[in-house]
Amino acid sequence: MDATHFYSLNQPPEEEALNAALQYAKNSDLTEQNARLFGRNIYPTDKPEPHGYEYLITTDNNKPGSTEEKDVVSGGLYAMQEIKGLFGLAEGWKGLMDWAAANGYMAVGVKKGPHGWVNSAYEELLDWAQQKPPEEWRFRLWLQLRE
């Protein structure tokens, strides 16, 4: 999927990157166009800290005059789990990783991206256009698996 990319390395990075993506969506009238919003951690070094965060919002990257930084949400084999609430992410990821291991799958792992190292998993914020409080956010957790 074609996407426009927003990231922050400031601490904490999640809110700054989300605000940039939401402002872009509003300015581009994407809130009414079924655009999808994916987020994930990024690491400027090969260490777990410090970390940043990036959001990818699905777009028509061929739109004339578009100057935003482009990216692609990788295709492939994924395991997926839906969760509710920002504070359920850690438990959701643990459950998804445990399921993959119990069923003979391995995650793709990390790879070098344009702004550092990225993991092969996404947190898709499902109801981002409704601007609900974080405890009501719904996520699809996408874990890319080795084929």
How many other CB atoms sit within 10 Å of the CB of residue 46? 9
pLDDT for 59-95, tens place per residue?
765 554 444 566 667 788 999 999 999 999 999 999 9
What pLDDT band is residue 142 in, cutting at 50, 70 and 90?
very high
Tell which wins on pLDDT, 99 or 112: 99
pLDDT of 137 above 90: yes
Q: Check whether the bond before 114 is cis (ω within 30° of 0).
A: no
So what's the pLDDT on residue 77? 93
What pLDDT band is residue 15 in, cutting at 50, 70 and 90?
very high
> What is this structure's pTM?
0.85
Tell which wins on pLDDT, 57 or 117: 57
So what's the pLDDT on residue 104? 97
CATH code of the domain in which 38 resides: 3.20.80
Q: Answer for the pair 4, 61: CB distance below 8 angstroms, yes or no.
A: yes
**Which one-letter amino acid corresponds to residue 135?**
E
Between vectors from CA 16 to CA 134 and to CA 129, what angle results, nearest 5°?
Answer: 45
Average pLDDT over residues 111-127: 82
Number of domains in the chain: 1
Domain that holds residue 65: 2-145
